[in-house]
Amino acid sequence: MMRTRPLKVALLGCGVVGSEVARIMTTHADDLAARIGAPVELAGVAVRRPDKVREGIDPALVTTDATALVKRGDLDIVIEVIGGIEPARTLITTAFEHGASVVSANKALLAQDGAALHAAAGEHGKDLYYEAAVAGAIPLIRPLRESLAGDKVNRVLGIVNGTTNFILDKMDTTGAGYQEALDEATALGYAEADPTADVEGFDAAAKAAILAGIAFHTRVRLDDVYREGMSEVTAADFASAKEMGCTIKLLAICERAGDGASVTARVHPAMIPLSHPLASVRGAYNAVFVESDASGQLMFYGPGAGGAPTASAVLGDLVAVGRNRINGTTGPGESAYAALPVSSMGEVVTRYHISLDVADKPGVLAQVATVFAEHGVSIDTVRQQGKDGEASLVVVTHRASDAALGGTVEALRKLDTVRGVASIMRVEGE
């Protein structure tokens, strides 16, 4: 039986995502009411520019005083899509204090202060849901938090930023250079005027922190995530990848150590075999590959950004939180019971692809191989090409720690026969 008293919802932010949330709430009002068990009423919309025309939204609902809105005391749910750390953090905690549950898409805030936000929600007996914070419309947070709650997740490997995947895909399929591909992404609206958050991995690192925390029942903050951008990836790197039967993706990688005693979270470009499902993810799409004990390998794929896809995830949370509200319950909160230590990048073990510029003369390969052996890094394959006294040497290692590889490269730079290290790239996804 449907409750007649509506659930009152406030919307903080009415940009690309917020306007889509408001539109779908209006156009799908009957369906949402049927799914939740009560009508949903948009009770207020907090914005920075009140004079802007917002189609389908009653101007009387619009306010610039977000604090007063969340303090009303009669709200059931606050939807936060303004992003950033402040004032979002204060507005969310104020909403809890005044009786509202919260649905958020704020990856940066959750990666930095997720534990404190969960604590505030728990203190006041309210929900904090954030499916839209990672990978847009792709159902990912809820499967990790609920569907796989009885399993042991060992690894989460994913493409979680559409802008970077579009750029790398263009470089791969057309032979374009980095700047040319970035310019096209900007022209098409995939990249911001300042693309730093995307191409330097900040966006993906925030998502990796959230995913690692949920997957491993351990608090992982943004500062715990190793981050490396992709602006140094070249056409030559893609040529080398193709010779190995690989492509290059900017990956978010969260994994348990082999002994299960620690976890790591990292974001960086990596070569990945063409046989791996993530290698076929094209354009601005996202995909996340999950490996667990009982379920084996699972892949989640779809649009990872944009107004409508992200709004879909927000509204899925709205339905779940609305049902909880009606039933007088709350959903899962933070699960950090495992409290595993987060290892440094130096302890991460993986394969490496190293391209060296060397002198084209006898004995160079032997010198290089000796340096690798002295640092305990085993070589898988070597390829050498030479012309006019100069040569390139491409070494692919077996699995080695980042610290061991770092010491190897430092020693290689000291050899008279090594002119320079052209590129170093990890090889993942085996």
* Catalytic machinery residues: 207
C-alpha closest to that of 31 among 315, 387, 331, 398: 315
| CB-count burial class (<10 Å; 0-12, 13-18, 19+) for 57 | buried
The residues, any chain, with a CB within 8 Å of residue 346's CB and separated by 6 or more, are 401, 402, 403, 406
How many CB atoms lie under 10 A from the CB of residue 243? 10
Report the Cα 327 to chain-centroid distance in Å: 33
153-163 b/e (C-beta count within 10 Å ≥ 16 → b): bbebbbbbbbb
The Cα–Cα gap between 20 and 17 comes to 5
* Cβ(395)–Cβ(382) below 8 Å: yes
Q: Are 163 and 198 in contact (CB under 8 A)?
A: yes
Q: Cα 339 to chain center, whole Å?
A: 21
Q: Is the previous residue joined to 143 through a cis bond, with omega within 30 degrees of 0?
A: no
